Structure 1
Amino acid sequence: MKFVSPEQASAETGWDVVIIGSGFGSLFFLKRYLEKRPADRILILERGRNNSTEWQLENRLNSDIPPEETYIHGEGSGKPWDFTIGLGGSTNCWWGLTPRMHPSDFKVGTSTGKGADWPIDYDDLVPYWQELEQVMLIAGSSDIGRVYPGTENYPQPAHQLTTADEIMVREGNGNHFPMPTAKLSRSVGARGRCCSTAKCNLCPVGAKFTAFNAMQDTLSHPSVSIAVGCEVTHLDVTGGSVSAVNFKHAGREYAAKSDLCVLGANAIHSPFIFQRSGIAGHGVGRYLGEKMLADVEVMLGGLDHFDGGTDSTAINVSILEEGRSAEFANSIYLVKNNLLHGLRLEPGRWRQTLPITLYVEDVFDYENGVFDDGSDKPVVRFNGWSDYAMAGLDHAIARIPDIFAPLPIEDILVHGIKPTLGHIQGSLRMGWSIEDSVVDAGMIAHAARNLCVVGTSVFPTPASANPTLTAAALSYRAVDQMLG
């Protein structure tokens, strides 16, 4: 990788592309862009440092910059938001789960009257999901194609299911599948197979796809320069076009001129850059949110668990497949193969417990968002989970005895809602015009036509699944829309 100083970054007479941030959205935009324009000069400005895999494992951290130190909680808003600041962004901290969005995820507004529709649909992303599943060496089963059309054979076989999963696949309602995941089930080169220790944010064997073990060719491309420790403050915009990216390092201010700006900080800091740059659009910084994550534990009568091959062995989409409701939010179940809640205490029944994580959709509320109060940090306000999400959680818990009926269920323990899922979305949402959104279907800002926003901030709704695969697909599609 070619690292440059802030002085070198600002001394150039003009970059072809300046990319802000280096997470999934940015990296896959870069990868696709280099396929089409390999000679263009590209600068990555990364606020964090180059914390190697070895550094992360030694320090048991993904970054030396705690997320909570980079924003301010608004009055009455104490909800934490989880993300990683550093080279590679969330490729470092993620847990490698890569299900697609469901076909119904794109028209939530139309079907329920809650939230907004996407300006694209499922079929628009199918070829990109297909390509990326190969690039990321996804392990999974093509059986899931019954729910997610266009699913082809994955490059890696699915991880070993637990005995409980096998019963659900064999005797359930047909909506229980191995979880698609970017953690190897078979070793490839220096990357080992998943060790199933449930330490995925700090994967000790390199099974998980990261910038460091799978994107080195992209980051080391001769056209790419990287400046770390550079916090972007604002963009210069003249006549509806970004002319320069302003950033600071060690107390000094710099500017990098660019023909194309790609903004991929995260869904808190990207809108803050918009706000400090005076870039218009409906809901800049608004509609901030994420899915609700809740944990339950199913006590099993005579059936042992924890014999699967990875941390999250299966996904159950029964509620999603039943159709969306205007009364309660949708949800999916993830079967966990780790000791989230410990072993059972009864002698001889240590493993007769099944942890399930619930992802429950929320409604992106206009009042939840990122605000500029004139300080150097964004103010984040979140007024709590919506009644719609809470009703969805209640519905999902109530349905467990029916959906998981093939298992010998003794009891269901509810362990509550987690503070954050780490899937921050919605603050620069995509839509049809500047009156209803910030960016268009190609993720180009309505108010600055050489500014492309990548990552999960553009999501109009949280969707049912983990957002990573879709964020990468949107980046690929954005380049194709831009360059053909």
Structure 2
Amino acid sequence: MQFVSPEQAAAETGWDLVVVGSGFGSLFFLKRYLEKRPDDRVLVLERGHYNTEDWQFQNGVNSDILPEQTFRHAAGSEKPWDFTIGLGGSTNCWWALTPRMHPSDFKVRTATGMGADWPIEYDDLVPYWQEIERFMLIAGPDELDRFYPGTGPYAQPPHHLSTPDEIMIEKGDGYHFAMPAAKLSRAVEGRGRCCSSASCNLCPARAKFTALNAMMETLAHPSVAIAIESKVTHLDVQNGALRAVHFENGGRDYAASCDLCALGANAIHSPFIALRSGIAGHGVGRYLGEKMLVDAEIMLDGVDHFDGGTDTTAFNLSIIEAGRSSDFANSVYLVKNSFKSGLRLDKGRWRQCLPVQMYVEDIFDYENGVSDDGGDEPVVRFKGFSDYAHAGLDHAMKRLPEVFSPLPIEDVRLTGILPTMGHVQGTMRMGNTIEDSVVDAGLIAHSVRNLCVVGTSVFPTTASANPTLSAAALSYRAVDLLLG
């Protein structure tokens, strides 16, 4: 990799592309861009450090910068938000679950009268999902094509299912599947298969896809220069065009001029930069949110669990396939192969429990978001999950015994709502016009046509799935639309 000083970054007469941040949205934009324009000069500005995988293992953390050090909570709003500041961004800390968005995720407002519709369709992302699934070496089941058209064949076979999963697939209603994951089920050169140790943020086998073990060709491309410890403060916009990206390094201010900028800091810091730059559009810094992540546990009668091959072995689509309601949010069930609440205490029945997580959709609220009070960091306000999400949780809990009825259920317990699931979304939403969004369907800012916003900040809704795969696909599509 070619690391440059801030002085070198600012001394260039003009970069063809400046990429802000180095997470999934930024790096897949960069990868696709270099495929089309390999000789262009590109600068990557990363706020954090280059923490190697060895450094992360030795220190037991993904970054030496905590998320809460990079923003402040508004009064009465203490919800945590999880992400990684450092080269590779959240490719370092993610748990590598890669289901696609469901076709119905794109038309939430049409179905319920709430939230927003996406300005694109499911089919618009299919070729990009396919390409990225192959590149990431996703391990998954080809049978998903019934509900997610254009799926498979995956690059690797799915991870080994647990005994309860096998029962669900054999005797259930056809909505139970192995979870697609960017964790190897078969070793490849330099990377082992998933060890099922449930330490995915610090994957000891290097089975998990990260920028540092699978995108070094992009990071080390001869056209790419990287400036670490470079915190972007604002963009210089004149007459509707972006002229330069301003950043701090070592207590000094610098500016890197460019023809194009890809802004992918994350859904908290990208809107803060946009606010300080006067970027126009509906909802800049608004509609911050994520899905509700909930833990439950099924007590089993005579069936053992925890014999699967990865941390999350399967997911169940029963509720999402039933369709959305205007009364309660959608949910997806995930089967966990790790001890979320410990083993059972009953002698000889220690493994007769099934941890289930629920992804419960929420509707982004205009009042939740990021603001600039003149300080060095953004102020984040979140008033809590909506009544709609809580109604979705109630519905998912009521349906849980029925959905998992092929199993010998003894009891069902709700163990708690987790404070965050690390899917920070919204704040720079995509849409059709500047009156309803910040960027268009190609992720170009309505008000600044040489600014492309990438990552999960552009999501108009939480969607039913982990957002990472779709964020990467949106970046690929944005480059194709921009450069042809």
Give the structure-1-normalised TM-score: 1.00
Cα separation, 2, equivalents of 1:152 and 1:166: 20
Q: What SS is found at the alignment partner of 1:145?
A: helix
- Partner residue, 1:182: 182
1:6 aligns with 2:9: no
Paired residue type of 2:384: G
Identical amino acids, percent of aligned pairs: 72
- Partner residue, 2:21: 21
The alpha-carbon deviation at position 155 of structure 1 amounts to: 0.7
Paired residue type of 2:291: K
Q: What SS is found at the alignment partner of 1:444?
A: coil
The alpha-carbon deviation at position 192 of structure 1 amounts to: 0.2
Q: Kindly provide the CA deviation profile for residues 244-280 of structure 1, in whole angstroms up to 9, marking residues without a partner as x.
A: 0000011100000000000000000000000000111
- Partner residue, 1:233: 233
Cα separation, 1, equivalents of 2:222 and 2:229: 21
The alpha-carbon deviation at position 416 of structure 1 amounts to: 1.0
Q: What SS is found at the alignment partner of 1:97?
A: coil
Cα separation, 2, equivalents of 1:56 and 1:93: 10
Q: Kindly provide the CA deviation profile for residues 372-409 of structure 1, in whole angstroms up to 9, marking residues without a partner as x.
A: 11111100000111000000000001101100000010
Cα separation, 1, equivalents of 2:112 and 2:145: 25
Q: What SS is found at the alignment partner of 2:132?
A: helix
The alpha-carbon deviation at position 152 of structure 1 amounts to: 1.9
Paired residue type of 1:379: V
Cα separation, 1, equivalents of 2:239 and 2:188: 50
Cα separation, 1, equivalents of 2:366 and 2:235: 25
Q: Kindly provide the CA deviation profile for residues 325-366 of structure 1, in whole angstroms up to 9, marking residues without a partner as x.
A: 000000000000001111100110010000001000001000
- Partner residue, 1:459: 459
- Partner residue, 2:330: 330
Paired residue type of 1:346: D
Q: How many residues align?
A: 484
> After superposition, where does 1:399-438 map in structure 2 within 5 Å?
399-438=399-438
The alpha-carbon deviation at position 129 of structure 1 amounts to: 0.4
- Partner residue, 2:476: 476
- Partner residue, 1:242: 242
- Partner residue, 2:258: 258
What RMSD, in angstroms, separates the aligned Cα atoms of the two structures?
0.4
- Partner residue, 1:49: 49
Cα separation, 1, equivalents of 2:202 and 2:152: 29
Q: What SS is found at the alignment partner of 1:448?
A: coil
The alpha-carbon deviation at position 172 of structure 1 amounts to: 0.5
Paired residue type of 1:120: I
Q: Kindly provide the CA deviation profile for residues 394-438 of structure 1, in whole angstroms up to 9, marking residues without a partner as x.
A: 000110110000001000111110000100001000000100000
Cα separation, 1, equivalents of 2:350 and 2:364: 41
Unaligned runs of 5+ in 1: none
Unaligned runs of 5+ in 2: none
Cα separation, 2, equivalents of 1:159 and 1:185: 6
Q: What SS is found at the alignment partner of 2:148?
A: coil
Q: What SS is found at the alignment partner of 2:85?
A: coil
Give the structure-2-normalised TM-score: 1.00
Cα separation, 2, equivalents of 1:421 and 1:94: 10
- Partner residue, 1:302: 302
Cα separation, 1, equivalents of 2:327 and 2:161: 33
1:124 aligns with 2:144: no
Cα separation, 1, equivalents of 2:323 and 2:343: 35
The alpha-carbon deviation at position 239 of structure 1 amounts to: 1.1
Cα separation, 2, equivalents of 1:75 and 1:114: 28
Q: What SS is found at the alignment partner of 1:449?
A: coil
Cα separation, 2, equivalents of 1:310 and 1:31: 29
Paired residue type of 2:140: G
The alpha-carbon deviation at position 60 of structure 1 amounts to: 0.5
The alpha-carbon deviation at position 2 of structure 1 amounts to: 0.4
The alpha-carbon deviation at position 160 of structure 1 amounts to: 0.3
Q: What SS is found at the alignment partner of 1:324?
A: coil
- Partner residue, 2:137: 137
Paired residue type of 2:100: R
Cα separation, 2, equivalents of 1:329 and 1:191: 39
Q: What SS is found at the alignment partner of 1:298?
A: strand
Cα separation, 2, equivalents of 1:197 and 1:45: 34
- Partner residue, 1:271: 271
- Partner residue, 1:289: 289
Q: Kindly provide the CA deviation profile for residues 94-132 of structure 1, in whole angstroms up to 9, marking residues without a partner as x.
A: 000000000000000111011000000100000000111
Paired residue type of 1:373: D
Cα separation, 1, equivalents of 2:324 and 2:358: 16
Cα separation, 2, equivalents of 1:196 and 1:222: 37
- Partner residue, 1:171: 171
> After superposition, where does 1:322-361 map in structure 2 within 5 Å?
322-361=322-361
- Partner residue, 1:112: 112
Cα separation, 2, equivalents of 1:443 and 1:250: 32
The alpha-carbon deviation at position 144 of structure 1 amounts to: 1.0
Cα separation, 1, equivalents of 2:204 and 2:451: 37
1:96 aligns with 2:96: yes
Cα separation, 2, equivalents of 1:348 and 1:223: 61
Runs of 4+ in 1 over 3 A off after TM superposition: none
Q: What SS is found at the alignment partner of 1:415?
A: strand
Paired residue type of 2:32: R
- Partner residue, 2:58: 58
- Partner residue, 1:202: 202
